[in-house]
Structure 1
Amino acid sequence: MRILVISPFFPPSANVAIMRISSLTNHLISNGHDVTVVRNEYDNDKRISTLSDSDERLLNLRTYTVPMDEKVRYFEASNRYKKVFRELMNKEEFDLVLITAGPFYTIPLCDIAKNEYDTKCIIDYRDLWIFDLRNKIDFLKPVNLTKKALYYPIERKNISCADAVVTVTQSWSNILKKVYRTDNIHIITNGYDDHQLKSKNEVINYEFDNKFVIAAFGKLAYYSEEYATRFFEAMKILSKNIPNLLVLHIGLPEEETYSAIRNSGFDNNRYINTGFINYKDGIQLLSNVDLSIIIDVRKGAMGTKLYDYIYVNKPLIYFGKRKTYLDYFINEFIGGFSCYRKSDVINAVTKINENKISNLTNHNELENYSRSRQNKKYINLIESLVNLK
C-alpha cells in the first residue's frame, strides 16, 4: 500500500524524535509498502553527521520538505504543512496518512486527509499535547491555560477524524479516552532498536575505564530542572566518597542541565556531554557505564530511552515523583531503584557501588522490549484499517 508519513523530525534530523518513526518506516519498507515522507527542512548543523545503513535507506525515500525553524509559530508552521500537504494530495493518491506528534502543528492534516481527500489517517502521539502534565503549577498558569484553550478544539476535531490514535502508555491512553470520549485509542509502546543493534559497532576506545560512570542517554534535565539540580547536588556529595565519579550525558546538550549543574555547585569537570551520537555508538557507550539515570516527573510517561536502558542491562535509577509509571515499572527490576529525594539517590548509588551491582535484571526477556515486536503490532493495525476501506 501507499503510505504518506508526516514527520517533522525524520532522518537526517539529529533529534531523538526520529527514533520511533525511523524504525517503523524501515519496517514498513521491509514489508513491501511504498512510503513517501513530508518533513522539516534541516540546516547542516541539525543533520546527523554519521548515518547508519537504515538511515541511508530512509534518505532515498521520496521526500518533500517544509521550511521551518524555532522562530516559526504554531499556526504559521501548520499553514506551511497544509500547503505542501494539499499540493501533494492533489497530485497523488495514498492509502493512508500517518502523522507523528509532537511537534503538533501537523495534527490538523488529519482533518484535511479525511474530509478533503477521503483518506485513512492515523495520529501517533509520541508525547501528549494539551494534557501533557509535567508540572501542575506550570500547567495551570493563565498563559498556558489560554494556549490550551486555543489548541483544544484543534486536537478534539482531529482526534474525532482519525481512524486510529496511537500512544505509548496506558496512562496516556486513558487520558485521551476520557477527555475525547473515544475508544479508538491504541497502545503501541517504544522499544530498543534491535534492527540496528544486530550489527552494532564495537567501541574501540572507551575512555572512562578508571571512572565510576553514571550515564543518561538522551534527555537528562529536560523534564525537570528542579530534580536535575537535586541529582547534581547528590553527585556533589557522592564525589567525596567516590573520587572517580563521572556523569556522562550521551546526546544533545541541554540548557537545563547546565543550569542544574551551576545551581547545584557540582564540579563541571566531572560532567561530560557527547553531543549528538549515532544510536549504535551511544548504545555501546551505555553498555560500558556503571549505572544509568532517568529524571522524569510525568505521571504516565515511558520515555523512548527506557528500553535502551533495559537492553544494556545496567543498574537503573529513576529520580522523580512517586506513583508514576516509571516509578512502578523500574522498581520491579532487581537492579532498578526508584528515588524521590536527594538522599534516596545517594543511598542507591552507594548501594550499587559498594555491592558491585552490575545488572538491571537477571531474566532473559529482552525481546519483549524490542521495536520489532511493537512494529509488528503497528503493521497489523495499519493493514486492518486499510483493508476495511
Structure 2
Amino acid sequence: MRILLVAPVFSPNNNVAAQRMNFLFDTMSVEHEVEVLVLSDKTSFDGRVKSISKRLFSTSYRAWINRKKIYSLLRGLLPEYDLVVVSLPDYGLLEVVKFCSELDVKCIADLRDQPNLSAVQNIGSSKIINTLVRIKNVLQVKYVYQRLQYADYITVVGSISTSMVETSCCKPVVNVNNGYLLADKKFVSERLALKSSSEKNSLIVGWVGSIYRFRDNANLRQVVDELDALASTQEVILRHWGNCYPELEAYILQCPNLTYENTSNFERESFLTELNVCDCFLLSCSDSLIWEPTTSVFDYLLFNKPVIYSGLHNNEAYNILFNSGVEVVGVNDLVSTASSEVRGIVFDGNTNLYSREYAYTNFKRIVDEVSCGL
C-alpha cells in the first residue's frame, strides 16, 4: 500500500513532532511504500521526501485563502496514494484533509500534536484584545471540527481527547499515545549511572517543554518562588529544555537564589543522559485546558523520580502520571540529595503502555483496516 505522511517537520529536524514522524515513517515502511510531504521554503514533489511551501499554510485563514492554489498543487499528487496521514499541530494543514475527501483518498487526521494554541497563547491584559482573541479561538475551533468531518479516522492522545473528539466529530477516533521509544527505556535502564558525583550537592530540577502564556499560571510562579526559597538553603538548579516566553523567563531570572539553565540539546542519548542527572522533574500544564497533550510526561516516565506538577489535576497529563504510578510532589517535599539516596531506575509493566511501539499497534489497526479495504 502507498502511504503519504504530511507533516510540518521531518528528519533531520530534532524537535518532538519530527521524532514522532520519523518513527512513523520508519515503522510503516517495513510493510508499505511510504513517502513524506513536508512544509518547507519551496515546493518540490521530487524524491521520497517531497515539500510544499509553508507560506501557504502559515495560518488557517491563509490556508483558506490559498485553498485553490493548494488544491491545484495537490490534486495530481494525493490520488497516487492509498492513504494520507496528516499531522496537525497547525490549523492550515486541515485543508489537506478536506482535499483527500474530495479526491476520494483515505485520510487519517493525526491530532497527537493537537492544533497549536496560538489564540490561547496571545491572551493578555487588554479586555478588548482578550475579547477578540476569544472570538478568534471560537472561530478556529469551529473551523477545526468542520474540517475534521472530512477525515476517515482521527488519532489523539488520551481518553479525554478521545471522548471530546468523538462527541464533536462522530468519526472513528483512536487513542494513540506519543510515548517514548523502547530503545530509550533500554538505554536508560542499562547504560546510565544514577547521578554524577560532581553535582551531588545540588538539587537539579529538570523541566522539559516549551512554556507559552497558556501554560503560565499562578501555580507555576508559586513553584518557582518555592524553588527560589529552597535555594536559599542549598543549591537548586532549574534546568530547562525548550523555549520560555520572555515575561516568564524574566520572572525566573529575577529570583535571587535559584539557578536557571536553558538548553536546546535534544540529541536523544545526550538528552536522556542529562535528564538522568536530575533529581526530580517539573511538569507545567495549563490551568484551564483538560485535554492539553504534553510529550514531556512520556520522557519523565523513563525515570523513577518525583514530578512537581503545575496545572489542572483532572487533565490528560496528570492522568498519565497518576495511572503510571509516578510520585507527584510539592517543592516542600523535596530534600537535599546530599542527605538522601537518589532512587534507582525501576520499571513496571504499566509503563510499557506508554511506549511509542505499543501506541503504534493502535495506529497499525487503522492502516491494516484501510489496506484490507483496497
Same fold (TM over 0.5): yes
Q: Percent identity?
A: 19
| SS of residue matched to 2:93 | coil
1:274 aligns with 2:263: yes
Kindly provide the CA deviation profile for residues 168-219 of structure 1, in whole angstroms up to 9, marking residues without a partner as x. 1111121112233x14211111211224665689789966444221101233
1:107 counterpart = 2:99? no
Letter in 2 for 1:3: I
CA contact (8 A) 2:108 2:155 kept: yes
3-state SS in 1 of match to 2:334:
helix
C-alpha separation in 1, matches of 2:159 and 2:71: 31
1:12 matches 2:18: no
Q: 1:290, CA displacement in angstroms? A: 0.7
Against the structure 1 CA distance between its residues 365 and 209, is the aligned structure 2 distance closer, same or farther, given a 3 Å change threshold?
same
Task: Describe the shift of the 1:233–1:89 C-alpha distance in structure 2 as closer, same or farther (beyond 3 A).
Answer: same
Whichever residue aligns with residue 377 of structure 1, its letter is N
The answer for the alignment partner of 2:38 in structure 1 is 39
CA distance in 2, matches of 1:133, 1:148: 5
CA distance in 1, matches of 2:70, 2:13: 19
Corresponding residue number in structure 2 for 1:66: 52
Q: Deviations over 1:149-181 (max 9, x none)?
A: 43345323322211101111111121112233x
| Partner Cα separation in structure 1 for residue 325 and residue 58 of structure 2 | 46
Residues of 1 paired with 2:224 and 2:369: CA distance?
48
Which range moves more in the overlay, 209-218 or 94-103? 209-218
Q: In the alignment, which residue of structure 2 is the partner of 1:317?
A: 308
TM-score (norm 2): 0.81
Q: Kindly tell me: are residues 124 and 275 of structure 1, through their superposed partners in 2, closer, same or farther at Cα, counting changes over 3 Å?
A: same
Q: Give the whole-Å Cα distance in 2 for the aligned partners of 1:106 and 1:374.
A: 23
Residue type of the alignment partner of 1:216? W
Deviations 1:328-354 (A, max 9, x none): 44245665115xxxxxx3323249886
Q: How many Å separate the matches in 2 of 1:119 and 1:98?
A: 10
Q: Is the 8 A contact 1:333 1:360 kept in 2?
A: no
Rounded Cα–Cα distance in structure 2 between residues aligned with 1:322 and 1:292: 17
Change in Cα spacing, 1:82 to 1:327, as seen in structure 2 (3 Å) is same
Q: 2:298 corresponds to which letter in structure 1? A: Y
- Residue 185, structure 1, aligned to residue 173, structure 2: yes
Matching of residue 228 in structure 1 with residue 220 in structure 2? yes
Deviates more, 1:303-312 or 1:149-158: 149-158
State the distance in 2 between where 1:73 and 1:132 align. 10
Q: Residues 361, 80 of structure 1: CA spacing in aligned structure 2 closer, same or farther, 3 A cutoff?
A: farther
Q: Partners in 1 of 2:296 and 2:71 — Cα distance?
A: 31
1:1-389 matches, within 5 Å, as 1-29=1-29, 31-41=30-40, 62-68=48-54, 72-77=58-63, 83=69, 86-91=72-77, 93-115=80-102, 117-129=103-115, 141-180=130-169, 182-195=170-183, 208-220=199-211, 223-226=214-217, 227-241=219-233, 243-252=234-243, 254-255=245-246, 257-262=248-253, 265-267=254-256, 270-297=259-286, 298-331=289-322, 335-337=326-328, 345-350=330-335, 356=341, 358=343, 363-389=348-374
Unaligned 5+ segments in structure 2 are none
Task: Report the TM-score when normalising by structure 1.
Answer: 0.79
Aligned CA RMSD, in angstroms, stands at: 3.7
Structure 2 counterpart of 1:173, one-letter code: T
Q: Secondary structure at the match of 1:240?
A: coil
Question: CA 1:37–1:282 in structure 2 vs 1: closer, same or farther (change >3 Å)?
Answer: same
